[in-house]
Amino acid sequence: MGIVKTIKPYHEPAGGWGALRAMGTALTEQGIAVSGMALLARMNQPGGFDCPGCGWADPKHTSPFEYCENGGKAVAWEATAKRCTPEFFAAHKVSELETWSDYDLEMVGRLTHPMRYDAGTDTYQPVSWDDAFTLVGRHLNALPNPDMADFYTSGRASNEAAFLYQLFAREYGTNNFPDCSNMCHEATSVGLPQSLGVGKGTVLLDDFEKADAILIFGQNPGTNSPRMMTDLRNASRRGCTIMSFNPFRERALERFQAPQNPVEMATLTSTPISGRLFQVRVGGDVALLKGMMKALVEADRRAQQEDRGTVLDWDFIRGHTVGIEALIADLDATQWADIEQISGLPRAEIEEAAAAYAKAERAILVFGMGVTQHRHGTQNVQQLANLALLRGNIGRDGAGLCPVRGHSNVQGDRTVGITEVPTAEFLDKLKARFGFEPPRKHGHNVVTGLEAMVRGEVKVFVGLGGNIAAAVPDWQLTREAMRRLDLTVHISTKLNRSHLVHGRDALILPCLGRTELDMQAGGPQSVTVEDSMSMVHASTGRADPASEHLKSEPAIIAGIAKATLGTRSVVDWDRLIGDYDLIRDDVEAVFPIFDGYNTRIKVPGGFHLTSLARERIWATPSGKANFLVYDKLGEDPRPAEPDMLWLTTIRSHDQYNTTLYSLSDRYRGVYGQRDVIFLNEEEMEKRGLQADDRVDIVTLSDDGLERVVRAFKVVPYAFPDGSCAAYYPEANPLVPLYAHDPQSFTPASKGVPVRLVKVAAEQGAH
Ligand SMILES: Nc1nc2c(c(=O)[nH]1)N[C@H]1C(S)=C(S)[C@@H](COP(=O)(O)OP(=O)(O)OC[C@H]3O[C@@H](n4cnc5c(=O)[nH]c(N)nc54)[C@H](O)[C@@H]3O)O[C@H]1N2
Ligand SMILES: Nc1nc2c(c(=O)[nH]1)N[C@H]1C(S)=C(S)[C@@H](COP(=O)(O)OP(=O)(O)OC[C@H]3O[C@@H](n4cnc5c(=O)[nH]c(N)nc54)[C@H](O)[C@@H]3O)O[C@H]1N2
Ligand SMILES: [Mo]
């Protein structure tokens, strides 16, 4: 790449002309400057396809311009004119490709043929679909126990593909469904049911038009869900208070220029977004949340003493919740000094945040990975739920919890049965519909799956999308385990790291993307997805497939199922693949909330899956919402290591998870490089470091293994004390596999204890 490596602050607002320029560049780089714009005109429109980017909800289709810079990049990446062909594979041994960067691998373009690894030549060679399916079947049938296979899902798979995938693996005999969600919002899915009885958000897009306050915890909308910026901007303009709690001063949370707004664009004005930014320390959220709640409780007592009403919503608390006494006792026992130390925020600031929250009649609490990816991720989520419950901010217009999901269908995949801990009720329904006995034993999630792989107990890995080898923690350990597998199968659109970290046998099975026409025996097919707000709607690709040899994800799963189960199967796979309406009928039979599925997706915008908590019906054992106590403030700050910093691993503006669109991160002022570490000047001074110095980042591991990434460049940044940040996935070798939330098994990617070792100038020269 010709990009110069520089660090220089970005002065423009987020969005705006910078966003339009970046989208134009992405389309041009992929060789689709003109056709790409035509494609984008069909994105998120009735009859069109759903954006393959993030899981933010679609508005009510009032503008022909329903996409954002990063959605544009996601489409450019899929609709690229570049191709990764058998000739390419013939020319590059796998051992050579291993030396390529992740960026260069995906830049090769769309995969065109099914490929099988050939050890003799150390290359991938073309293979027929039939032979590929037979190979998978042979390996799976050779396993003494179906629990020796793992079936991974990344959240781009449609409801139809995901349902078939779980159907096949369960008929085969296992509940091993590690899922990208295990590394993402699992703390939400595990934490919220205990609090509210549902594991999903409780707001709809309309609520953003009615809220008086929106609080954003550990989420970066300007980059990761840019269409949300329009809702925030409109809220901000009508006087809604917006507060953000984040160690970074994320640009989009400060100022935003709507690319869709001609006036802002022409006059170069922008809307200030976050009324207030609270720079919480990395891992300091429990302390912050308890501080806010403590301030509310204290204010409530004062108000009652002075006969000024109440600050807490006691009618709601008494009518709808249990556990308030224990929560208040815990808050009373928590000292302000500890809250300040661990959150990194002075008491006065926390009280200010609490006061602004208390002033709002209706408040929405938004949260993302900054909250979930901690050893105390579930606790973070539950303390957030407590904060909402204290003021009755659930189940009312303009109020609620809004976990912003990642992948565009990660929520839907879970809804239709991708889970390693299925309920008995679901399995009974599956059995009633199909007539086979599904396995009851709980299966692997990402962490337990990798642990089993490390122990040699897993032999076959199948990945429905994603890039597991790069997305997971502890590369040294986990990649070595992947290389010992009997078979790795990746259903993918683009070449990525996981294809190179392969088992003894290995297959790359290329599939259609969401923008492409999916033609089956019964004609062109649509799929369905569920967004962050539980809206289910259809997505129809119309573009010519990247290659005539591609199959749809459902068709690939059916091919594997037939080759593995043969006449044993009670499912008529060909019939289902011929007409996806039939798959949806099955989904509806197993999950009654999909009542009228095929009819309801014909309505533009789709339909909403009911959230009981939204109706103030609490599906918990007590029948009430639960205030849940966590008697700590976070993780112990290791007094024995005065040098320690909490490292958080974050996304740049120019990446989609492990896919890099470029090596730059313009809002944070980083260009042409990703091996950087953000650190404040005081912490730099303490360590004798200057800007551009190189450091090794070393994890303070508990198990004696050395975890280190080398020669990262120091970038001074107004960051909280005791904290630092580096990019995901480059920093993943630092995240220990054992360092996960014990309840949700979410790896602690946003809370890694590290120390820095300065590298001598000549060693660090890059
Ligand atoms: N363009 C683009 N869009 C995406 C993605 C992408 O990679 N690129 N990924 C998709 C996926 S799968 C997901 S899950 C979402 C991810 O979207 P986000 O949830 O926004 O994920 P991150 O960027 O990893 O981190 C979010 C924020 O958490 C802050 N943070 C870090 N540590 C802490 C902490 O300890 N406390 C608090 N309060 N904040 C902290 C970071 O500064 C950052 O602003 O986006 C989805 N959309
Ligand atoms: N340190 C650290 N680690 C993290 C995170 C973090 O913040 N920090 N975030 C975590 C999170 S939130 C997530 S969700 C995971 C993401 O983990 P994954 O979901 O496994 O990773 P992705 O990078 O999204 O997967 C990209 C690949 O998906 C394939 N692909 C793209 N589109 C399609 C499609 O339509 N169909 C199919 N079959 N394949 C397709 C392409 O081959 C592409 O290379 O990573 C997690 N890992
Ligand atoms: Mo995610």
Can you spell out the DSSP letters for 41-62? TTBTSTTSB--SSB-PPP--S-
Q: Which of 478, 369, 483, 484 is nearest to 734 (CA)?
A: 478
Last residue of a domain, one of 564, 595, 626: 595
Task: Yes or no: say if 548 and 112 are a contact pair by the CB < 8 Å rule.
Answer: no
DSSP notation for 136-148: HHHHHHH-SSGGG
- Cα 209 to averaged position of ligand 2 atoms, centre (Å): 32
Query: Minimum mean pLDDT among 34-48, 520-534, 537-551: which range?
Result: 34-48
Q: Which of 531, 612, 741 is nearest to 196 (CA)?
A: 612
284 and 238 together in one domain: yes
Please give the average per-residue pLDDT across 332-337, as a whole number.
Answer: 98
Residue 424 domain-assigned (yes or no) = yes
How is residue 569 written in tokens? 């199967």
pLDDT at 275 over 80: no
Q: Looking at the CA of 651, name the nearest ligand.
A: 1
pLDDT at 731 over 80: yes
Task: Say what the pLDDT of residue 506 is.
Answer: 98
Return the best residue to mutate from 552, 658, 727, 746 for the ligand 2 pocket (most ligand atoms within 8 A of CB).
658
Burial 13-27 (b: 16+ CB within 10 A, else e): bbbbebbeebbbebb
Instruction: Please state the atom number of ligand 2 nearest to the C-alpha of residue 472.
Output: 47
pLDDT at 666 over 70: yes
315 and 297 together in one domain: yes
Q: How many CA atoms lie within 13 A of 318 on its CB side?
A: 4
CA separation, residue 50 to residues 28, 62, 465 (Å): 22, 16, 17
pLDDT band at 131 (very low <50, low <70, confident <90, very high): very high
pLDDT at 12 over 90: no
Handedness of CA 269, 271, 277, 279 (dihedral sign): negative
- How many domains is the chain partitioned into structurally? 4
Q: Looking at the CA of 156, name the nearest ligand.
A: 2
Q: Whole-angstrom Cα distance, residue 625 to residue 542?
A: 45
472 and 432 together in one domain: yes
How is residue 575 written in tokens? 């019939």
Q: Which of 236, 355, 334 is nearest to 286 (CA)?
A: 334
350 and 326 together in one domain: yes
The residue that leads in pLDDT, 491 or 635, is: 491
Mean pLDDT of the chain: 93
Residue 603 domain-assigned (yes or no) = no
Per-residue pLDDT tens over the stretch 366-381: 999 999 999 999 999 9
551 and 443 together in one domain: yes
Task: Say what the pLDDT of residue 118 is.
Answer: 98
pLDDT band at 100 (very low <50, low <70, confident <90, very high): very high
Question: Which percentage of the chain shows pLDDT scores above 90?
Answer: 78
Q: Where are the alpha helices (DSSP H) in 344-445?
A: 347-359, 369-372, 377-390, 410-415, 424-434
pLDDT band at 13 (very low <50, low <70, confident <90, very high): confident
Number of residues written out for the chain:
766
Task: Say what the pLDDT of residue 120 is.
Answer: 98
74 and 137 together in one domain: no
Return the best residue to mutate from 414, 493, 648, 724 for the ligand 2 pocket (most ligand atoms within 8 A of CB).
493
47 and 91 together in one domain: no
- Cα 151 to averaged position of ligand 1 atoms, centre (Å): 25
Residue 4 domain-assigned (yes or no) = no
3-state SS assignment for residue 689 = coil
Q: 458 Cβ partners below 8 Å, 6+ apart?
A: 148, 149, 150, 176, 444, 449, 452, 485
Return the best residue to mutate from 216, 286, 369 for the ligand 1 pocket (most ligand atoms within 8 A of CB).
369
CB atoms within 5 A of ion ligand 3 belong to 184, 406
3-state SS assignment for residue 322 = strand
Task: Say what the pLDDT of residue 639 is.
Answer: 54
337 and 203 together in one domain: yes
Last residue of a domain, one of 403, 428, 446: 403
Q: Whole-angstrom Cα distance, residue 497 to residue 507?
A: 13
- Cα 236 to averaged position of ligand 2 atoms, centre (Å): 32
Please give the average per-residue pLDDT across 408-422, as a whole number.
Answer: 94
pLDDT at 61 over 70: no
pLDDT band at 274 (very low <50, low <70, confident <90, very high): low
Last residue of a domain, one of 60, 78, 96: 78
393 and 432 together in one domain: no
Residue 3 domain-assigned (yes or no) = no
Task: Say what the pLDDT of residue 1 is.
Answer: 44
Q: Which residues are paired to 116 by β-bridges?
A: 125, 507
Instruction: Please state the atom number of ligand 1 nearest to the C-alpha of residue 218.
Output: 39
pLDDT at 265 over 80: no
pLDDT at 2 over 70: no
How is residue 312 written in tokens? 């807490």
Q: Whose CA is nearest to atom 10 of ligand 1?
A: 406
pLDDT at 75 over 80: yes
Per-residue pLDDT tens over the stretch 139-154: 999 999 999 999 999 9
- Cα 180 to averaged position of ligand 2 atoms, centre (Å): 7
Q: Does 184 sit in the ligand 2 pocket, CB within 6 Å?
A: yes
Per-residue pLDDT tens over the stretch 474-489: 999 999 999 999 999 9
Q: What angle do helix axes 336-343 and 347-359 make, rounded to 10 degrees?
A: 90
Please give the average per-residue pLDDT across 326-349, as a whole number.
Answer: 97
Burial class (CB in 10 A: 0-12, 13-18, 19+), 636: exposed
| Element at 713 (helix H, strand E) | strand 708-716
Task: Say what the pLDDT of residue 73 is.
Answer: 83
Q: Whole-angstrom Cα distance, residue 695 to residue 281?
A: 22
Q: 181 Cβ partners below 8 Å, 6+ apart?
A: 155, 189, 410, 413, 414, 418
Q: Does 156 sit in the ligand 2 pocket, CB within 6 Å?
A: yes
pLDDT at 496 over 60: yes
- Give the CA-trace dihedral at 546, 548, 550, 551, to 10 degrees: 130
263 and 157 together in one domain: no
Range ranked top by mean pLDDT from 26-40, 417-431, 750-764: 417-431
Q: Whole-angstrom Cα distance, residue 31 to residue 25?
A: 10
Pocket of ligand 1 (CB under 6 A): 53-54, 70, 184, 217-220, 223-225, 245-248, 250, 280, 282-283, 285, 368-370, 406-407, 648, 650-651, 655-657, 750
Helices (H) and strands (E) in the chain, counts: 32, 33
Task: Yes or no: say if 665 and 653 are a contact pair by the CB < 8 Å rule.
Answer: yes
Instruction: Please state the atom number of ligand 2 nearest to the C-alpha of residue 659.
Output: 23
Instruction: Please state the atom number of ligand 1 nearest to the C-alpha of residue 250.
Output: 44
Please give the average per-residue pLDDT across 379-384, as a whole number.
Answer: 98
3-state SS assignment for residue 319 = helix
CATH of the domain at 742: 2.40.40.20
CATH of the domain at 266: 3.40.228.10
93 and 72 together in one domain: no
135 and 280 together in one domain: no
Q: What is the pTM of this model?
A: 0.95
Q: Which of 682, 689, 692 is nearest to 712 (CA)?
A: 692
Return the best residue to mutate from 365, 750, 754 for the ligand 1 pocket (most ligand atoms within 8 A of CB).
750
Per-residue pLDDT tens over the stretch 617-642: 999 999 999 999 999 998 865 556 88
pLDDT at 752 over 50: yes
Between strands 6-7 and 694-699, the pairing is unpaired
Range of the domain at 254: 186-403
Q: Whole-angstrom Cα distance, residue 51 to residue 646?
A: 34
- Cα 649 to averaged position of ligand 1 atoms, centre (Å): 9
Q: Which of 275, 254, 272, 239 is nearest to 353 (CA)?
A: 275
pLDDT at 70 over 90: no
Q: 350 Cβ partners below 8 Å, 6+ apart?
A: 278, 288, 291, 292, 295, 339, 340, 343
Handedness of CA 181, 184, 189, 191 (dihedral sign): positive
Instruction: Please state the atom number of ligand 1 nearest to the C-alpha of residue 750.
Output: 32
Q: Whole-angstrom Cα distance, residue 277 to residue 348?
A: 14
CATH of the domain at 121: 3.40.50.740
- Cα 203 to averaged position of ligand 3 atoms, centre (Å): 19
